[in-house]
Amino acid sequence: MSTVLPQTLKNPCLLIGASRSDALALAKELIGSAKIDSGNHPDLHIYIPEGKSDLHPMANMQTLIREMALPPFESPCKVFLIEDAEKMLPSASNALLKTLEEPSPDTFFILLTNHPDRLLPTVRSRLHPISYTQIDPEAFDLSPYLSLAQNEKWDALLDALPNLEEENPTTLFKGFLTWVAEQKNPNLFQKASALIVTSQKALDHNVKLRTVLLNLFLEVRARKEII
């Protein structure tokens, strides 16, 4: 994650891929109080999606607008933190447009999202984006397992698969794509990438990692195009 200095921030800002702790770290610098660490400060206002719909209701945005009109209690400025900003209802988003376009000098807005494309364009155009990029995990070396699949040593592969169950799926998939990339065949890489997408969807539907990996090896071996 890149460090963002408060003096370089533009108001209002959109933190893409940041966590609440990232946002609180910025708020702490802006407000200048250790109370921020607990998320408990009279000049810090945090808004999160609510209810079964898991959305930001219009009432909360109306509350935000009223609180913005009040002076800070202890600090030079107030900070309004809106988590999962893409979950604002259109009516709530539209209610904030003027506020975001002309924030008062003693008010700072921090919006968090992992899906900036889901924000209304009229909202997104008023925000200054800051991307928090995480370091990609190292690719797991899958070559021994791929070698077993190459040689159709399925019993040995089944015995070895439990060793992978504690690994991060991202590192495994990245390792697979790294191996395919070494074959220097763009067509194969494209097909392998499609297999990874299918595998990730299976994990999202609670299919066990061991099963996903085995299906991946079997699918690739059946095609006899990559291995």
Domain span at 85: 6-131
Helix count (H) and strand count (E) of the chain?
Answer: 9, 5
Same domain, 62 and 20: yes
Q: Express each pLDDT in 72-128 by its tens digit.
A: 988 888 999 999 999 998 888 999 999 898 888 889 999 999 888 889 889 999 998
What's the pLDDT score for residue 136? Answer: 52
If one counts the domains in the chain, the total is 2
State which of 131, 152, 172 marks the end of a domain.
131
Letter string b/e over residues 173-187, b meaning 16 or more CB atoms within 10 A of that residue's CB: bbbbbebbeeeeeee
Same domain? 160 vs 110 = no
Dist. CA 65–CA 86, nearest whole Å: 18
Domain match, 162 and 108 both: no
pLDDT averaged over every residue in the chain: 82
Greater confidence (209 vs 2) lies with: 209
pLDDT tens sequence across 164-180: 888 888 888 888 888 87
